[in-house]
Every structure is written in C-alpha cells, then in structure tokens.
Structure 1
Amino acid sequence: MSIGELIARARRLAAHEGRWMASLGMWATRRAHGVGDEDVAVGYARAQASTMYGMVFFFAIETVGVSFMLAAHPVAHLVMLLLDLYTVFLVLGLHAAAVTRPHVVRPGELRVRRGARLDLRIPLDRIESVRHDLRFPGANRSEDGVLDVAVASQTSITVTLTEPVTAVDLWGRGTQVRTVRCHADDPRTAVAAIRKLLPAEA
C-alpha cells in the first residue's frame, strides 16, 4: 500500500471519528442528520440497543476496576483511563450514529445508512421491487451484487434494483450492487413508505 493510500485511509478514518462524535451531540439534543421536514425517517437502531448498552456497562465497570488496580502507577493509570474512556465514548458514539442517522425515504431517493460508516443513495426510479424479508446473513457468506446492511445480524427489507448503484465502504472502496438488504425497526411501515413514492411503472 502506497503512502498516498495510507494518508487517504487515515483521512477517511478521521472523518468517521468526527461523524460519530458529532452524533453524540445530535443524540443528546434529539436531532437527526439529513432528515428533512417532508422526509420519512426509518429507524434501525432498536435491535442493537441492548447489546450496545451492555457493552457500555461492561467497559465502564472495567474502567473503574483498572483505575483501582493501577492507582499506584500514575502514568499507566492515566494511559489506561484515557483508553477506557475513549472506548466507552466510542461504543456510545457508534450507537448514537445509528440512532441519529436513520434510513431516509424522500421523493426520488432512498437513503440507506449504517451509522457513520455507510451512506448509500438509491434513486427510486432504479428500484424494481421492495419487500419485507427477514434474513440472518452469515458473517462469512457474501453474494456478488448483494449488499447486506445488517443490524444485530439481521436484515428485514430487500430492495431489488433494475441497474446497479455503487456502495462505498469506510475505506473508500466502491462495490456495484443490484440488491440491498437492510434492517428497519418497523419494516412493513418502511416498505409501504417506499412503495408509495415509487414511479408508477415499478
């Protein structure tokens, strides 16, 4: 990997860090990112909430325990305290990003997101079909042309396209996809909202 590629990846990682940090502020003030007054926000974070809160509790307990263990070693104590606090805020930030960056349905576009990591815009005129379709995709299974945007290891909506769109991952790699599977807290309502705005021929 070249120096230029490493710098580009570092910049994308820094941008991701900035997005989840900003999401904490939006979450605290009950604001959503990129959702207009006429848009339909489709939440998907509910399925992972218990897991994320459990992780925060575990890391918080670990932070207290390690602080007591390293109390006699000030430098090590400070380093570990900063790392542990960062981890707690990271987990909270990732969940906050999922809460404040929902999928969005608006005239002409379906916006599929995964927290601060993925933001895929699908023109509605490229959608062939959309349906409620509960799946549990395996971590090691992949299909050509299929993007699984799973939450808590599940997807509940399948969107089939007439022509591919490009999904860009955290590192800037683009993949052509013709089927997108994502999760929604209320998939049937989300499917109805999408179908309502589809062109008549779809």
Structure 2
Amino acid sequence: MDIILASASPRRAELLKKITSNFQIIASNFEESDIMFSGNCGEYVMTLAKGKAMAICSSVKKPTAIIGCDTVVYFKGEVLGKPKDSYEAFKMLSNLSNNIHEVYTGIAVINTETKVINTEYVCTKVKFSKLSIKQINKYIETKEPLGMAGAYAIQGGASLFVKELKGCYYSVVGLPVNKLYYMLREMGVNL
C-alpha cells in the first residue's frame, strides 16, 4: 500500500522518515479557517487533520494510506495558531513565558481501499522558562516563529525556552511518531 503525507511541512516529512522512507508528499489545499473551534482541542485537531487528508482523496487512484495532521498550541482557553506578524509572535511568546501550555496534534489516516478513517490526537504539556524581552525579540528576528503554531519551533531556536515537557516531544514538532506508527499498522500498512 502506498503512503501519502498530506502536508508540505518539512518537519513532518522528516519525522515520517523515522517510520518509512517509502512515501510521497501531496500538500493539502484544505481551508482550515472553515472549521470553527468549539472548545475541544482534541476534536478540533482531529477534524482539521481529517479535512486535510480528505482533500486529496480524489487525486489518489490506487490503494493508499493518506496521512493528515494538524498541530495547535492551547493556552488559557485560546488556540494559538501561526502568528500573522512579529507583533503577534511577540504577544504569544510573552504569554507563554514562565507558563505551561498544551500542544495538540491530530492525526487522520485514511485507507483509500477500505474507506476506513482513523483519527487520534496527542496532547503534550510544555513549560517555558521566564523569557526576557531581549530573548523574545532575538528569536523573532530569526523569522522562525512566523510559520509556527504558538510562534515557536521546539526543534529550533525555541528549544532554549523549554523548561519541562510532559508527553510526546515529536507531537510538539508536528507528528507523534509512535502514535502514527501504530495507527498505520492498525490500518494494515506493512512497515
């Protein structure tokens, strides 16, 4: 069975290589803004992940496992997506400073042959150290925060900010490898 990652994220592709090198990438054109957050982060990221995977189903002709993913940062009742600009990144990082937040990653795996869809999510708690204005500004100057949920990349420059982590590190990066491995096996994918 073929495997397709419905994501243009280089981080997710790199993590999927830990499971298999035999996959292709087709970026999904799913419109995330069509899905409203109703207060349940787990359901939200699973819905987004499923939407991304479903969006490429019609372009697949042979038996394939399609993987869709989505990651959000959740802090004090608010979903922190990708910041629109440096000001928004600064605000997010200032709020996360010296606090605990949650990172939710949803995964959807669709077996195009059986039409079975499996969705799961992983929640990881992350505690940041107290960040100075200088630290935040220096990090924002790298431009790394602008493309990341919650305005940070744990595997990048923000690795210095993480004081404690409870849960799956790879989920915070964007693809919970262990969870996905077992989901694919459940779907009959030989790895």
Kindly indicate which of the two structures has a greater share of residues assigned to helix: 1
* Structure number, greater radius of gyration: 1
Return the TM-score normalized by structure 2.
0.28
- Normalised TM-score (structure 1): 0.27
